[in-house]
Structure formats: structure tokens, C-alpha cells
Structure 1
Amino acid sequence: MSGITLDHLLYDEGSPLRIKDTDRERLRVLFLAKHALAGGSFDKNDGTHAIYHNEIKECLEGLGVELDVSNTYEALFERIPQNFIFTLFNRGGFRNSEILASCLGEYLSVPYLGAPPSMRGFADDKHLTKVMYSQLGIPTPDWQIYRTSDISAPKPDFEAERYVVKPNNSSASWGIAHSTDWDELRPHVKRLLEDNHDVIVEAFVPGVDVTLPVVGAGKPWILYPMLNPAADGLNIVTYEQKRGFKGGSSIELFADKDKFPELIDYTKQVNSYIWPYDYGRFDYRIEPNGKVWALEFNLSCNLGSSRAIVQSAKALGYTQQDIVESVMANSLERQRVMFEAVCAGKQIRWEM
């Protein structure tokens, strides 16, 4: 099994891609996010996610592009006057909500941020990404998938000292639970299945989480790895910590990055199969004995000022707005055919 030959930019070899002047003059961007109109206040349900959406809105305003704002998928249910969709919609409350905006962008022939819907769907399915890791010989913890077609939730086929349970397609550690006792976890698994979530169960690996940000800059630009410890003794970061409801977690530069070349090697291997996309984050677990395990990768992850991509970029001397511009410029190049078509008033349709 082999992917495409792909050049990468590593650390200070790369820099943000800039939007071409000829594109900037033509761009009319629709910013689509759940809290796009909320004004940047901390949300009682989504916490700092609402602040993040306002940060990105301000970055787009700072880029000087014509900008329209919406907080609903329905904005894409008919032809739109904009020629680029900067979508941050995630966890929309229904299955596969992460790919709806990109699917509608394809239907409308309007370029959109992120990755093709097929690749977003693949990346959001943690089971399938772990199958990929296994096929590539990249270590990944034992796991089992539970689909909603069977809600009986039998004990996993593998033994583990501790099991970690989470929705198979969720983000920000929402719905995560763990225990040494499967009977204790089984009701949680059944509740998720009954709520129409597929569920993945993994063997817990002791150690610490390290995430490797990748930004689209014409080529995949690998930023500094970031350490994401938690204060619970097991180093399992929760949804409440990621959304700012609780403390006890941090994101900081991984000082020992040079001791673990696998972080770069594994990411490059995967990229040879999934590129192009606009930005992503590759999550790893490093055991105390130094073994590196691949957990998952997240395309179109959080670009908030306190999160891994922007914090890593800051260590290289770049701002949140620099990264926003780079991922949008990369997206325009990735979808150049569609952007030129929509600017010419055309809707792409294949002859069938």
C-alpha cells in the first residue's frame, strides 16, 4: 500500500500562504458557524467555542474580504451570492453534521473550508482511521467499534486494564468515559448508541497526549508538536476542560519533540493518503517508556487563540490571522477550478 509522493514543510521551513490580490478583490465570504452572531460571549453549553467563533470572524474582517455571516446550515439550502464558505460548523446535533456544509458547497459549486466531504467523513470516523493506522504499520491502541445497528454493547473482544469509551464521530472529547470495569461502562455505551451515536472503545494507554498541527500552505506545513497534559493522574482531557468549563488542562510546546521522530514520520505517512486538506491536527499518546501511539487525526479542528494550532504558530512568530489567511488561501488553490467557475457564474455539473 502506498500513497502519493508529497513534500512537507517542517517548522520554520514554512510560512503562511497569502491570498492572491486577484482573489482578494473577488472574494465574497460566507462565515458559517454556530456562534457567528453571538458577539463572543462565553456560552453556557459550548463554553469557549463561542469566543473562538468570534475570534475567527474578527480575523476575517481583518483580512479585508467582503464578509457575510450566518449561524445556520439553512443559509446553504438554496443558491447563495457568496463565492467561498468559511465553515466552522461541527457537532451540529445530528449524524454526519460535520460534512453537511461541504456537501452543500459541492452541490452549489461554491468552495468551502476544510476538506472534501468524503475525506472529512473518513477522518471523523475514528474506527476507519485506526484501520488505516494498522494497515500502515503505525501503532494504535486496541479498539472495537459499536454501530447503532446493535445496541446490546457486549464486552470488547480485547482485554484491557482500563477501557476508554467515546462517540466514534465526536470531537472535543465530548461523551468520553473510562473505567477498569466494562459493566460500569456498558450503560454509557448503550445510552450513546440509543442516541444514534456509533461508539468506539479503546484500550487505555498510560502516558501523555501530544498533538501535531498541520496547516495548509500550498504544501502540508507541520508546526511544532504541542503537549496537552491533564491533572487527573491519567492524563485524559475532558470536554469540560477543552471548552473552558473546568481547569486542569494546558497546551504547551513539547520540549522533547526531537526525541520522538515518529511524530513527524507517522504524520507524513498518513498525509500521503489524505492530502489535500486545509488544516488538521494529529493526536498521539506517548508512553513513559517512549513508545508513540497514534490515536486519531482531526481535519478542520479548532483554530481558537488558545488551542494547539495557533499556539504552535505563535511560537514560530505568526498570528491567528496569519493562520486563518493561510488555510483560506490553501483552500482556494485546492478548489481553484470551482472558485473560477463560481466567479464566472457557473455551477459545475458533470455530463451523466
Structure 2
Amino acid sequence: MSFVAHPQIDPRSLGKVGVLFGGRSAEREVSLMSGRGVLAALQSRGVDAHAFDPAVQGVAELAAAGFDRVFIALHGRYGEDGTMQGLLEQLGIPYTGSGVLASALSMDKQATKRLWMTHGLPTPRFAMLRAGSDFTAVVAELGLPLIVKPAREGSSIGLTKVTDAAQMREAYEKAAALDRDVIAETFIDGAELTCPLVGEGDDAAALPVIRIVAPGANYDYQNKYFTDDTQYLCPSGLPEALEREVQDLAVNAYRVLGCRGWARADVMLRADGKPFLLEMNTSPGMTGHSLVPMAARAAGISYEDFVMQVLAAATLDLQPNEHWKPE
């Protein structure tokens, strides 16, 4: 299903809005940039939008703020992993993006990959690492090069491309400093793609695919957010049938995880034309270097309109029980 822009949204219908950004994760710096962009976009459209940083403002303040809905512009832990979603469920405040379970599953790369594999979706082979793992055996099983990374971080934080078995210990320790669960996966040599997604269930749709060409094929944290050397090709330049195949795969991956609202699937396209799913981002970046706004523009929708549509879709996993009363 292709993406279709919705009619203009009345800002008054959205009520008082909180934009959650900053937070306590390793991606705080990027989240601050995303949140400021989202906040400015909403205010430019006349929305009664207010900044809220969970790192410096507590739960009591969030409960007392009187928000009718919130836009989650948090990235990584405590914002993209189901924890903030669970809190907002408790408070009864509708929020953007995926619910508790889908957020938690998507943040955990091991859980994501196991679920995709169960449904027959292609993703690189992997192994979980521990301090006592036989790294030589892992290399023998998966081959080289390998990608070693924390199981629950984003933005390539803590990631190492291992080209020699002697690098495994150092790569493991770098990732383990950020997460007790570390994953090693087969490196897919090919084109790096990303596909933003919107909607839910049968109504889920893909935006145009973006092909990423990073300096030295190294799409790391610095090249993602703080340099202008990375090229983003949208249109991707892929043959139409192949682009549609990647979009269909991304939509299936999104549905399998139970995602809603919006997300972004990262995909590697092997030299023989076979796509492999890497991960699902359920609170994608919205900075000046971010990819979702780029794909939205290619689909004919501005940054501001896209933010409005994501916010208008804010909801809860469970609707409040109007009949419940404390004893």
C-alpha cells in the first residue's frame, strides 16, 4: 500500500500537546534536535504544544501538565523501548507511535530478529555473546566480517565491524559497556537502505525508499547526524520492482512486530538483489539530517504536515475504563 497524505488537520482538535524529547538515553543529543524540530513545526501550525524533557521533569509534572496527547521524540532507552509508553498508558495520555509491546520488541534486536525469522522474513544470521563466549566458534559459525553491537541501542552506538577474529573481545567489551545483551550478526555487503512506514495493520503503508551512501561505507553516529558527507538518494535509484519489494518487506516487518503510527525499517540490499532486514526504529529521528522527513517530502508532504499527521494518530493500547473508581 502506498502512502497517501490526509487533509489538513485542525490544530484545535489536538488539544494541549506535550513534545517529549531529551531523556536519559545515549541518544539524548539527537533527541533534543528531533524534539526541537517537532515542537517548532507544531507551533508553526497553531498547535498548543509544549516541551517536556523527562530527564529534568518528573512523572508528577507529566501527570499534572494536562496534556491531551503527546508526541514522543525520545530515542533509545526510556522513550523508544516501551517504558515511556507504559507510563503514558498508566496516565491515560494518548501518545504517538507504537504501543508498549511493539516498542519493547522493536528495541530489542534479538527479539525482533527471532520474530522476523519465525515469520520467514530475511534478516542476517546472528549469535548472542557473553563474556565467556567462544568468540572463535562464533566467527567460524557466522563468518567474517561480523557486526557486533548492543542488543538495545540505536544510532549505531557501540557498534563495531569485525574483520578479524582477534577484534572480537574488544568489540564485545565495547558493546557490553552499554548493554548486558550483545549481538553478533553476519555482515551483509551491499547497499544500505531505509524505508519509513506509517499507519497500522492492513492500513500500514511505506514511504519512498532512501539509499544511503556514507563515506567509506561507514554510516556511523557521526555520519548520521553531524556531517554533510553522507549522500541520501531519494528516489533511491532502484528498479521500480525492487523498490516495491523492499517496501513490501518493510511493511510486513512492521506488521509482524505490531507497530503503529510510524516507524522506519533499516534494510541491507545484498549485491545479488536480496534484501535483509536489520532493525525497526519506532521513534525515528526528525532532525535536519533525518530520513523520515526526506521520504515524506518525496511523497509530497512537508515536515510540518507529516508531524501533524503523526500527532493526530496518537492513541493508547488500552482505552481508559470510565467505570473504574478507586476504593
TM-score scaled by length of structure 1 = 0.80
* 1:308-328 CA distance string (max 9 Å, x none): 211111112211111101111
Q: Are 1:123 and 1:129, in contact at CA under 8 Å, matched by a contact in 2?
A: yes
Report if aligned partners of 1:225, 1:257 keep a CA contact under 8 Å in 2: no
Aligned identity (percent) is 19
> How much has 1:83 moved relative to structure 2?
1.9
Correspondence 1:32-43 to 2 at 5 A: 32-34=20-22
Q: In structure 1, how many angstroms separate the alpha carbons of the residues matched to 2:8 and 2:180?
A: 39
Q: Distance in 2 between matches of 1:56 and 1:285?
A: 29
Match of 1:240 in 2: 222
In 1, Cα distance between equivalents of 2:10 and 2:228: 41
Q: Of 237, 241, 248, which residue of structure 2 is paired with 1:255?
A: 237
| Deviation, structure 1 residue 274 | 3.3
Q: CA RMSD in A?
A: 2.9
**Gaps spanning 5+ residues in structure 1: where?**
1-7, 36-44
1:220 maps to 2:210: no
Q: Which residue of 2 aligns with 1:23?
A: 13
Partners of 2:31 and 2:90 in 1: how far apart? Answer: 28
Residue pair 2:162, 2:171 contacting (<8 A) in 1 also: no
CA deviations over 1:213-264 (Å, ceiling 9, x no partner):
11238932311100012121xx2310111121x4542222112151314212
Given the two structures, how large is their TM-score scaled by the length of structure 2? 0.85
Counterpart position of 2:186: 203
Q: Does 1:318 align with 2:301?
A: yes
Query: Given the alignment of the two structures, is residue 230 of structure 1 paired with residue 230 of structure 2, yes or no?
Result: no
Task: For residue 75 of structure 2, give the secondary structure of its aligned residue in structure 1.
Answer: coil
Report the Cα distance in structure 1 between the residues aligned to 2:93 and 2:172, rounded to whole angstroms.
Answer: 38
Distance 1:97 1:259 in 2: 32
TM alignment of 1:43-122, pairs within 5 A: 49-73=31-55, 75-78=57-60, 79-80=63-64, 81-92=66-77, 98-122=81-105
Residue 69 of structure 1: how far off its partner (Å): 1.6
TM superposition shift of 1:73: 4.6
Q: Is the 8 A contact 1:223 1:312 kept in 2?
A: yes
Q: Distance in 2 between matches of 1:279 and 1:211?
A: 13
Equivalenced residue count is 315
More displaced stretch, 167-176 vs 271-280 = 271-280
Q: Deviation of residue 190 (structure 1)? A: 2.4
Q: Distance in 2 between matches of 1:33 and 1:280?
A: 17
Distance 1:350-1:328 versus aligned 2 partners, 3 A rule: farther
1:74 CA displacement: 5.9
- 1:62/1:130 CA distance change after superposition, 3 Å: same
CA contact (8 A) 2:209 2:247 kept: no
SS in 2 for 1:158: helix
Letter in 2 for 1:163: L
Contact 2:85/2:99, CA 8 A, preserved across alignment:
yes
The residue identity in structure 2 corresponding to 1:299 is T
Between the aligned partners of 1:65 and 1:112, the Cα distance in structure 2 is 15
Q: Which runs of 5+ in 2 are unaligned?
A: none
